Amino acid sequence: MITVNNRDELSWHDGMTVQDILDVMGYTYVLIMVTVNGVLVHSEDYSGTKVPDEADVRVIHIMHGG
């Protein structure tokens, strides 16, 4: 099980990547920053970064518009 934004829980599976999490959560926003266990993941590494079980994942949407 991993936690997203200190609230939502997702089932973990072997090989799960940051991009998998964004897809499951439906996060299509362009201005986002992702950390896994406090470490920043750059956008070009979303598909290649594997997320460990029990990870604390933060997907911060930087506000725009409004």
Partner 1 sequence: MIMADKISIVINGKPREIPEGTFLLDAVRKEGITVPTLCHHKDLMPSGTCRLCICEIEVRGKKKLVTACNYPVREPLEVWTDSETVTRHRRILAEMYLGRWPNVRAVREIAGLCGVSESRFKGRYTEEDPQSCILCGHCVRACREFALERILDFAGRGIHRHIAMPFNEVDPHCIGCTSCAYVCPTGAIQIVDDLNQPVDPQMIRDHGMKVNAEMANLDPVQCRMREVGTANIVDVMNQYDLLPVKNYKYGSHPEVWKIDSKMLKAKYFTQNMPDGCWKGCSMACAKTIDDFELRTGPYKGQKVCVDGPEYETAAGGSNMGCFDADFIAEFNFYCDTYGIDTISAATTIAFVMECFENGVIDTGVTGGLELNFGSGDEVLELLHQMARGEGFGVDVGQGIRWLKDKWENEYGADRKFMDDIGMETKGLEVSEYVTKESLAQQCGYGMAIKGPQHDEAWLIFMDMVNNELPTYEHKAEALHYFPLWRTWFGLYGLCKLCWNDVVPADNKMTSEPQKVPDHVNNYFKFVEGMTGIKLDEQKMLDQSARVYNLQRVMSRMLGYGTRRDDYMPYRALGPVTAEEYESRQDRYDKQLREIVGVDPEGRSTSEKIKILRDYREDQYDKTVSVVYRRRGWDDNGVPTVERLKELGIDLPELVAIVEKNRG
Least distance between partner 1 and beta carbon 59 (Å): 7
For residue 28, what are its two tokens? Answer: 């299509």
> Three-class SS of residue 20?
helix
Scan for tokens 């599976």, then name that residue. 13
Contact flag: residue 12 with partner 1 (CB under 8 A)? no
Q: Which residue, 14 or 62, is less far from partner 1 as judged by CB?
A: 62
Interface with partner 1, residue 64, by CB under 8 A? yes
Helix boundaries (H) for the chain: 18-25
Query: Pattern of binders to partner 1 over 22-41, x per CB under 8 A?
Result: x---xxxxxxxx------x-
